[in-house]
Amino acid sequence: MIVYDMRCGNGHVFEEWFTSLGDYDSKAEEGLACPECGDTAVTKALSAPRVNGGATEPAGAPCGLPACGMGGCQLMNGG
């Protein structure tokens, strides 16, 4: 199964499940409708692949001290 985030012309975003890429093509050709408002101007919303987790790691890997993540790391400050 493939799940896509779809967006209608009124900005509603909803999930649509497809059994295959061909299934998506045929349904898109028939015309998908928004479950909220019935709008058929539905496009595939660009979205990143779903990842479990949520919290993103800070870019610069800290040295491991709690103070480092708060900007008070002596090593990072050249101290």
Q: Which is nearer to Zn ion, 35 or 60 (CB)?
A: 35
Give the helix/strand (H/E) hosting 75.
none
Q: Binding Zn ion by CB under 5 A: which of 37, 41, 63, 75?
A: 37
Q: Give the CA radius of gyration of the chain.
A: 22
Record the tokens describing residue 7, joined without a space.
């967006």
Work out whether 68 is an interface residue with Zn ion (CB under 5 A).
no
Q: Binding Zn ion by CB under 5 A: which of 6, 7, 32, 34?
A: 34
Give the helix/strand (H/E) hosting 67.
helix 66-69
Residues in the site for Zn ion, rule: CB under 5 A?
Answer: 8, 10, 12, 34, 36-37, 39
